[in-house]
Structure 1
């Protein structure tokens, strides 16, 4: 980087997150943008921040179209608009897309807001709406009364225009129990008794609160639901009147909650088809009952439950369909359940409907949406969800301040997906600037993720972010040092690693952090063990690693593996933490590289197998990955007598159960042999000049559907080239190319062992010619080869060609 660039970079970095107010309470309509420009290798990374000091109150200026406040005509309100039509026709509006409320709280508006009072529904207008949409006008009065009570109690400052109030009226009118007074109170009492009894594992305390099925519900249960719920019951349910459905739904739902939860899913699926549906609150209660008491305790039956195309998650999506979400008095826990279980498409639909209809989402639901969009990898919709947070008045949810810890944790998760993109002003992070524009002030945890992302992008940018953090008083923690150590080790910068280790050594908590300790072990293994001096003392290298390990971790697991020599005297005493899997692996790998006696490796491996079978808490966890098994193969392959042990290692991996349970109750899923494991097994035999055995290994790989990678093909080519088997080498090169891999520098290094490389290229050319003949041939059905598939024809011709080529080359020799 040029000196001029540094002069630009560092002063502007010092502006990031800088205080811009001298007193608390000062506010801005639009926060000023501070730009940080980073120039290197002919590209520019600019980060734009809008960050407040502690106590600042940023106000979001949101344009509000005055037309949206005009009272619409009665004709517009009474036009036909059913819930099903609303699926296809988005709500028209003249205000900008980002304006979710006509009135915002003083916290979020610079201008003084008018009092936000929604229109009160007039009984006559509601009746006209019912008639226009084919609904029973007899229930219009009670619907209007209940909606007006809900509007007064629930809107909390939200202003719904007449179009949305009309839609709220239609959704409420299609609720099954809207005409029955006290139905929701009765349901809540029944549900509370049943769910409490189930949670405590007891009988229902107040049995009088939970009525029996009754004759009609009993008939439907025995003759329809338990016989053919998705067939004959669906037909009868669709033909039943509203009053008949009202009389039986609650009784059937409560009985199924108590006695047959699997059948409950089918029952809910059938009874939520069409516009006339059970009350949304009742549906949420039923599904939350299943999710809390069954899914979390025994998720297998719900995960595996399926009836035709219906699954547990699809039932939730259909029962809690966003197009049927009440616009007023919406149970928020139902939306959280929907966000947790819905697919990406369904979750996207939920966000779209909530924004279009101005549905009042609480901060907890918004964060749930953002979190699951992040898990889906959908950055745009996660940001779209978080952008709703500043629109919620602070007085409504004081625990969800825009810079609260819970929101920062969600931002940290989202920032792990951040990337650098090229824009009109140069290269810039995609997510970070948008979070800053929302008024989110990064804390140390968020900056740690930014630091990690910066180092992934460019070393100098990472160094500048680090300098900024140190200059603004952010104390580096274990995550910070883990990022710094990982980057320095990956770059091979030993001086930086030593510098960071010295800084860590002065902090006892950091020095004893298991993740930091494992990374320090890894740096020692990388710079000392793997590049061990031929004239150095291997035992001194191993004891140094053992001392580093003993400063943090308990020696007991290593002693049980018989790795610790009897003459070793620990330099550090006291209670130590159990070792991490990485720490154990690095000590074992160091031991194998510092001594070359086959008997020691065999002894340790035998003990390792025993401890895994016993479910040792530390040792059994090592089988989660293939690393330790690969290390044993590498240790065995140095001696011809260890080849049989190499095979046993792979056989042991294949023979492990699908799930292991350790002595402390942890569940471990063992790793099966990976392509690296198989490649190391091949290399073991090739390394010991046992090329013929590689064919058997390749047969085993084919049997287990192992796909070769470039390293596997290079290993195979290396073995054939060392054995001077030119036909097999040529065939391997052809097969490698057919699978999409090209000859690289590693391949050419292996081919230099051939005594007569010209003969190899002759063989390859002949195979190319044979393949060309096959592709151009027009074989008739009556020909001898016509009964074979095209691949079989090719394989047969290649075999014949190799045989002829081998005979010809043997005669020339």
Structure 2
């Protein structure tokens, strides 16, 4: 009799017209577990964005149990067929390929724990949390099903946490998730494939605030509200999710993730990434709605943690990793790799290595520590590697730890190691890595040769560069590589143009570079910049569009070979016009300061070019501060190097008042001096025989941590009486108040009379014009807050 009663209670007759549904009992059970998938109910809007409850006077419930097979997305771009009687569980489908399967990768010894949960234990835990004991049956049933499905026993603590998380869910039976999935997938597909919603069958409106509603009412209406907002007002969905997930009775974790995934996929680039509501932004929205403390312990759909990891803050991701480790939440190798990627992006090496430990050494399917995806992430992590001196000598920090974890470096990883070795400034270390790669039969690719070229050029080893170019030319797969071609072009610029021999013919150097450029790229952009002389007849060359680096090199080559003021003025006017027009090849040059600096260098040697220098920096400041809707600024802000070159232009042309104004602007906007800036200032004072200011500048430079270098000593040779300089420095050492005035990157103000050449009336007029230009330039700049 007892067995027959239990069987009747659990396996009663199915509901007509609702395949797969369990029998419903009281009206309370009807309201709590059967939710209408709504698509047509109007939503009241008020300025406070408080959500009001829907009317509950409904006489019947409609299910979304499709009677035919439909194709639905299961993740970010994946699709899956749903049949008439789809089997689901609380948080994920049992066939979800992205859910961790412990049978395929067992990590360590399994702790003893419960393989089943009793209703008595569940009821006791729910009672301690103030949750109705009526939910004990459904919670127990679902937890036991998940444990059997995932083959994961629960310890006492895990049992408590899993029960609390499940008990706080508004939907404790399978029907709620089934209905949600059917309605959500239809809305998702309608948006993705741009077709109309087919099922539109519900009504209702908000009337009272969400927190005033009873649990059963929340369960009855949450899905309908979410689906309606997804369709009609997605901008209000974030507020709705915050309100409904911050209270104790939370919607199903998978449903919340579905809503956020929908918003992230379809609205992130348009408005979601800049969304704000009160103290919340999108980052805090994700951290609130997908709180790791609410992640199901037994079975969590892995795409939800990955969305959290991608969008949460550094502290949020740290918290997620800690909770995963403390609660032994099973995560897939893909999720562990997502942890590793995000911590690498945040330059958190220790946590990235901890995440890598979750990826198994061996696995029947899926990712392992030797998979290509894992190796690519290890390459990215190695870009953060540094060299440290230890008891065993110099060694890398990250590489040995990866090797200890079982990672076997391939050629791509060794390329990164080789690059790191040369970055240390120790050529021997780089050569040791190179010999190791040769000894392990690693074939050199374009990345390897690019690294070797970069090192040889930085050391000025022209013989090595020529040898590498010869090797590249002998390999067909490397000869046409655009990155190597750009590196070879740059090496020619360094050795023939930037550091031009004193006896070299500038005109021949320019045409040699132009011929090499013509072999690699289309010459049309240079014609548009008015750089190509009219009489030049190019040979048949390449039609490939040039990179910004190639164009910059040719502009710099032209100015270093033909830097007449009229040429620079003409080309800058054309450059400015093409950038303003958004030229596809010329305008990218305005995104960095390199091209502007070349214009300034070409102008600073001519007194007539000072006003154009001011105009150029004014263009950079004006355009970079202009806020244009849906348009990026077409001029970059002046960098420290830009300011230093501008300052040197006035110092070299003996315009001390204008130079002082430039320094005032730099101080006003908190532009700190570097060693080059200090050497320019000291050079100017030394040339003017202004010993007090020279001494004050040297003291200020030392106070900022810079020491006298060979460039400083070269400037001091211009002093006619160097002994007076050291006397002035000693006096400054004894005068603490005077030294205190030299803080914040500015030399102490010492009243002195500069012995400059007498100014003529034309020079006075020129200084007046410069003063007006500098005043206009200063007005363009807004102080930093």
Q: TM-score, normalised by structure 1?
A: 0.74
Q: Distance in 2 between matches of 1:755 and 1:366?
A: 68
Distance 1:769 1:419, change over 3 A: closer
Number of aligned residue pairs: 652
Q: Are the counterparts in 2 of residues 659 and 667 from structure 1 also a CA contact under 8 Å?
A: no
Give CA-to-partner distance per residue, 1:443-477, whole Å, 9 cap, x none. Answer: 22112112112222432232222223233332211
Matching of residue 369 in structure 1 with residue 339 in structure 2: yes
Q: Match of 1:747? A: 712
Q: Distance in 2 between matches of 1:158 and 1:502?
A: 61
1:242 to 215, 237, 259: 215
Q: Match of 2:593? A: 626
Instruction: Return the offset for 1:420.
Output: 2.6
Q: Distance in 2 between matches of 1:330 and 1:377?
A: 28
Please show how residues 635-650 of structure 1 align to structure 2 within 5 Å.
635-650=602-617
Q: Match of 2:619? A: 652
Secondary structure, aligned partner of 2:388: strand
Matching of residue 286 in structure 1 with residue 259 in structure 2: yes
Q: Are the counterparts in 2 of residues 415 and 432 from structure 1 also a CA contact under 8 Å?
A: yes
Structure 1 residue ranges without an equivalent (≥5): 1-100, 225-232, 776-789, 808-813
Secondary structure, aligned partner of 1:746: helix
1:182 to 171, 175, 178: 175
Secondary structure, aligned partner of 1:428: strand
Secondary structure, aligned partner of 2:657: helix
Q: Match of 2:461? A: 493
2:416 to 449, 453, 458: 449
Q: Distance in 2 between matches of 1:427 and 1:704?
A: 41
Q: Distance in 2 between matches of 1:409 and 1:758?
A: 61
Larger mean CA deviation between 269-278 and 333-342 belongs to: 269-278
2:648 to 683, 704, 718: 683
Please show how residues 436-585 of structure 1 align to structure 2 within 5 Å.
436-457=403-424, 458-573=426-541, 575-585=542-552
Q: Are the counterparts in 2 of residues 512 and 552 from structure 1 also a CA contact under 8 Å?
A: no
Q: Match of 2:349? A: 379
Give CA-to-partner distance per residue, 1:260-280, whole Å, 9 cap, x none. Answer: 334322222222224431110
Secondary structure, aligned partner of 1:529: helix
Instruction: Return the offset for 1:717.
Output: 2.2
Matching of residue 418 in structure 1 with residue 388 in structure 2: no
Instruction: Return the offset for 1:659.
Output: 8.1
Instruction: Return the offset for 1:287.
Output: 1.2
Give CA-to-partner distance per residue, 1:586-628, whole Å, 9 cap, x none. Answer: 1221222223433222222222112111211111111111111
CA RMSD of aligned residues (A): 3.3
Q: Distance in 1 between matches of 2:429 and 2:295?
A: 47
2:162 to 168, 177, 184: 168
Q: Match of 1:698? A: 663
Instruction: Return the offset for 1:758.
Output: 4.0
Distance 1:160 1:659, change over 3 A: farther
Q: Are the counterparts in 1 of residues 700 and 742 from structure 2 also a CA contact under 8 Å?
A: no
Q: Are the counterparts in 2 of residues 736 and 742 from structure 1 also a CA contact under 8 Å?
A: yes
Structure 2 residue ranges without an equivalent (≥5): 1-99, 756-785
Distance 1:191 1:454, change over 3 A: same
Distance 1:407 1:570, change over 3 A: same
Q: Distance in 2 between matches of 1:669 and 1:639?
A: 27
Q: Distance in 1 between matches of 2:632 and 2:189?
A: 30
Q: Match of 1:718? A: 683
Q: Distance in 1 between matches of 2:738 and 2:383?
A: 53
Distance 1:713 1:440, change over 3 A: closer
Secondary structure, aligned partner of 1:207: coil
Q: Match of 1:353? A: 323
Q: Match of 1:306? A: 276
Q: Are the counterparts in 2 of residues 103 and 116 from structure 1 also a CA contact under 8 Å?
A: no
1:139 to 135, 142, 147: 135
Instruction: Return the offset for 1:330.
Output: 1.0
Matching of residue 253 in structure 1 with residue 216 in structure 2: no
Matching of residue 402 in structure 1 with residue 390 in structure 2: no
Q: Match of 1:802? A: 751
Q: Match of 1:9? A: none
Q: Are the counterparts in 2 of residues 103 and 159 from structure 1 also a CA contact under 8 Å?
A: no
Q: Distance in 2 between matches of 1:124 and 1:172?
A: 16
Instruction: Return the offset for 1:129.
Output: 3.4
Q: Are the counterparts in 2 of residues 660 and 670 from structure 1 also a CA contact under 8 Å?
A: no
Q: Are the counterparts in 2 of residues 187 and 282 from structure 1 also a CA contact under 8 Å?
A: yes
Matching of residue 207 in structure 1 with residue 216 in structure 2: no
Q: Distance in 1 between matches of 2:739 and 2:457?
A: 51
Secondary structure, aligned partner of 1:802: coil
Distance 1:737 1:432, change over 3 A: closer
Q: Distance in 2 between matches of 1:509 and 1:103?
A: 44
Q: Are the counterparts in 2 of residues 367 and 386 from structure 1 also a CA contact under 8 Å?
A: yes
Secondary structure, aligned partner of 1:576: coil
